[in-house]
Amino acid sequence: MPSAGIPGWSVIIPAYNEARRLPAYLDEVVAYFEGLDRSYEVLVVDDGSSDGTATHVLEAQAGHPAVTLHRLAVNHGKGFAVRAGMLAARGELRLMADADGATPIGELKRLEAAILAGADIAVGSRALRDPSVTRQVRLHRKLSGEVFNFLVRRLGLPDVADTQCGFKLFRAEVATVLFGELETIGFGFDVELLLLAQRRGYRVTEVAVNWADQPGSKVTVFRDGPHMVRQILAARRRLARRPSASS
**Number of neighbours of residue 210 by Cβ within 10 angstroms:** 19
* Distance, CA of 112 to CA of 177 (rounded, Å): 20
Say if residues 81 and 45 touch (Cβ distance below 8 Å).
yes
Domain spans of the chain, in order of start: 9-136+162-180+201-215
Which DSSP category does 69 fall into?
E
pTM of the model: 0.87
At residue 247, the pLDDT reads 44
* Interval 59-113: pLDDT, tens: 999 999 999 999 999 999 999 999 999 999 999 999 999 999 999 999 999 999 9
At residue 144, the pLDDT reads 62
Report which listed range, 58-72, 121-135, 218-232, is most confident: 58-72
What distances in angstroms separate CA 156 from CA 44, 55, 198, 208, 238, one per listed residue? 31, 41, 9, 21, 14
Say if residues 183 and 192 touch (Cβ distance below 8 Å).
yes
Kindly tell me if the per-residue pLDDT of 32 is higher than 80: yes
216, 72, 40, 65: CA torsion to nearest 10: -100
* Distance, CA of 97 to CA of 14 (rounded, Å): 8
What does the buried/exposed string (b/e) look like for 19-55 if buried means 16 or more CB atoms within 10 Å of the residue's CB?
bebbbebbeebbebbeeeeebbbbbbbbbbbeebbbe
Query: Of 130, 129, 166, 162, which Cα lies nearest the Cα of 146?
Result: 162
Fold type of domain 9-136+162-180+201-215: Spore Coat Polysaccharide Biosynthesis Protein SpsA; Chain A (3.90.550)
What are the residues facing 72 on neighbouring strands? Answer: 47
Pairing of the two strands 204-208 and 121-125: parallel
* Interval 163-215: pLDDT, tens: 889 999 999 999 999 999 999 998 889 999 999 999 999 999 999 999 988 77
CA angle 99, 102, 106 (to 5 degrees): 95
